[in-house]
Structure 1
Amino acid sequence: MSVEKRRHIHQFDAIRGIAALAVMLSHYVLIFANSSSSYYKNLSSIIASLSYSPLGIFWAGRSAVLLFFVLSGYVLFVMINNASVNYIQFLLKRGLRLYIPYLFAVFLGIVGEYLLYHGKLSGLNPWVNQFWSGSITTKSIFDLLLFIDAFDTNRYDFTIWTLVQEMRISILFPAILLFMRGKKWWISIVIFFTVSTLSMAIRILALSGWKLLPWLTLSGSFTAYIFTPYYIFAFVLGATLASQRKPLQKWYSRLNTQGRISMFIIGFSLYYYGPHFISSIGIHHLVVRDWPAVAGAAILLVVSAYDMVAIKTLTRPVFLYFGKISYSLYLLHAVVLLAMLHAFYGVIPLPVLLPLSIGVTFLLSDLVYRFVESPAINISRTLSR
């Protein structure tokens, strides 16, 4: 059955699961960076060398986050375009779907810090030791409850900044689609790309010392409000792919085998090697390094949507399982990693502790999917009706 005749695209679930794994592994890799231990330094050097091989895609966390955003734009377009729901129903369905598992993950993070944090972990780098290091305060909890405000997400679960941006853009998305309607697809791409670039130019100026609305540009780290228009472009690109899925499918079906392989290679190269190339020529600004990864993510989604080899591969049970628990896996892996480090670092060697942490993450993610996430999905569907 063609993509445009289905609302649920199973291979996209698999992609979401693979991306969640990449984000998780990217955080595990960071544990060894800039460590005072010579052993960890050597290990970090080996990982850095492997990062220039195709294997590095398995811990390309930044590209995976951008892939999430492009994919969300695609899925939200299909959801809104095919559903006879009003704006309030849409917000209830989307908000509860994200918020209930989010609250549970934050609760585990607060409990984990309260029970397990006893100071910095000697021998590990500042990146690891920045988390759970502050006191638990009413304000920090209140910030988390507000969800879409600009606040420091590093306090209890450092992955949740993406959910803040996702929910903000979801709130705006029906209006964005209204703006896109009736326009040629490339016009929306140009307009929102310009908005994205301008927003990061404003932030760069603010970081350089210009006093440009600090509450908008600097407050909240990754949840700063200025990042929201920046990431909207990735959502709009995904929505454009969804709006053009019939002509895209027709175009892709005319490609021969060499053309399809070339499409995959181009998408993979932009998605993974694009940011490496930009950095290698001395450009380190986030906005420039993200451009090739976003373009590559869009191409890879096209391939996965219409290529039968990709569809058969991605719809294998193991990948669909990763997709099923992907949201819980994404939310919980940081909490589990910090809990395991603070509970067992120095007692269990890291080469044993980290694989054990991954196993615990999968187990907990499966349980949370069954007993928290699935009920949240059912509640969101019921209330949205």
Structure 2
Amino acid sequence: MNDQAEHPLRYALVNELHARPSPRLEAPCTAVFVAFKEPRDAANRERSRDVAHLADLCSRHGSPSPDPQAGHYAAQLGRHKLRWESHTEFVTYTAFARGLPPRPFDPSVGEIFPLDWQRNAPGKRVAAVIVHVDVLPEDPNEIKPRLKEWFAAESLASVWVLDESAAVAGDFRIDPAGWMRFAVFVRPGTASGRVGRIIQRLLDLETYRAMSMLGLGRARILSEQMNGLEVQLSDILQGMADDTRPSEAVLHDLLSVSTRLESAATQHSFRFGATAAYEAIVMERVAALRETRFMGGQMLTEFMQRRYAPAMRTVKSTEKRLATLLDRAERAGELLRTRVDVWRGAQNQEIMQRMDRRADLQLRLQHTVEGLSVVAISYYAVGLLGYALYPLAHAVHLDKSVLIAALTPLVVLAVWFGMHRIRARLHDDH
């Protein structure tokens, strides 16, 4: 086939579907799992450090180094099969070994991941699990004493999974050595692929449970912050009814609260979104196990509803509360803008009234000035005409005072008419 007809990502995307197959395991065996996450901005971490940390573990066991651009890796580390995967926020290491230790859940099985190596990880450990996989006895009642010995009775969940092909038990507690424990008892003859899927789903369940509950810590911190911000916002809204309080002061307080709310939303939006996504994966993994009740024990679904779901509801309610406060702050801003617009309208109306009064005064003053101008111009015009016509008046024996008296009304009328024409012309030009 012509390569030019292929989309450049076609093969890469298809290969991604097969990059992380479920392990194929046979009972008895042991799975040891750890997951690391950087405390801050894990999604944008420098992934080369994760690969370098993996290469260090491989070097300790004499195994080939991973590709620097790898997103997943598999190798044989002594008697263990190692699987490494890089995810959006975390990396996971899983080691599978045949057989079981002399003592169930012996912390020594975790030595495949040395403590000093774990301390040097780019992130912090968010999950550490030991899965004890054994063969289910003919009488399932025989495992009850073991479950009582290994797990806390008040939080123990024990179920049949995948059409009763295996029994799974765990109490979701961390033992003194720092490991969470799961026990899996597989019916003889169960396919290795099915056993591997059961183990993988349990590990995914714990990993994504741990990752989703990171949002609970954020929610508690944010709730404390919102308690204070909510009081401030309420005070601002009540203060907006006080006309004596300057709008500038109210605006300053509102901007301060709104800025802190927007900052909180920006800081926590990714974590809350990731929590919702991880929660969905947790519930999908539980559903994929197709659990049924094991000898009257607590089911995983029941455990999640009682212990896990309240934490997720807390995160969701906190996120909703933050959104509500943001909406209230936005509405307060709109109310404040309306208040300012009304105030500005009143100010503009007052200014217009002042301008009208000033214009009226200017018009009156203009009329007064025009009247005075007519008088002044007429005075000088009469004087000039009197000087000009005096010889003629003398020739006809006309007294000067009579001449001035006769000229005055004529000159005043002529000056007034001239100024009226000039004012009318100026008005027409505008």
Q: Same fold (TM over 0.5)?
A: no
Using structure 1 for the length normalisation, give the TM-score: 0.25
| Larger relative contact order, structure 1 or 2 (CA cutoff 8 Å, min sep 6) | 1
- Structure that is richer in strand per residue: 2
Using structure 2 for the length normalisation, give the TM-score: 0.23
